[in-house]
């Protein structure tokens, strides 16, 4: 390499700056919304884990599960009116 030039292009476009990696693409409101969504998911996970811990510690786990989570959803791999699996 004999020579090297460097050019800096200043822009007011937040999209361009985000693509180039010099700025964030989100404004403060969008950051807060992402943080709120992440916090909500964390709290849901903690709530579910607390429920599972309570069920695991219970003497009658099936009753405890229904009390904590409601009636369980049963998913069958084939229709319930036919006890045979689907043919390939």
Nearest alpha-carbon partner for 50 in 75, 72, 68: 68
Give pTM, 2 decimals.
0.51
Q: Where are the domains of the chain?
A: 26-69
Pairwise CA distance, residues 18 & 20, whole Å: 5
Share of the chain above pLDDT 90, in %: 30
The pair of structure tokens assigned to 40 is: 């909500």
First to last CA, the chain: 64
The 10s digit of each residue's pLDDT in 6-40 is 877 666 666 676 777 666 666 777 788 889 999 99
For the chain, the average pLDDT equals 79
Nearest alpha-carbon partner for 49 in 68, 73, 34: 68
Tell me how far the alpha carbon of residue 85 is from its chain's centroid. Answer: 33
């Amino acid at each position: 390499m004999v020579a090297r030039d460097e050019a800096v292009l200043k822009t007011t476009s937040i999209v361009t700056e985000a693509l180039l990696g010099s700025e964030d693409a989100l404004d403060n409101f969008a950051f807060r919304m992402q943080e709120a969504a992440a916090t909500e998911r964390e709290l849901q996970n903690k709530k579910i884990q607390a429920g599972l811990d309570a069920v695991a510690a219970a003497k009658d786990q099936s009753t405890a599960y229904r009390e904590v989570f409601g009636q369980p959803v049963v998913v069958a791999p084939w229709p319930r009116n036919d006890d045979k699996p689907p043919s390939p």
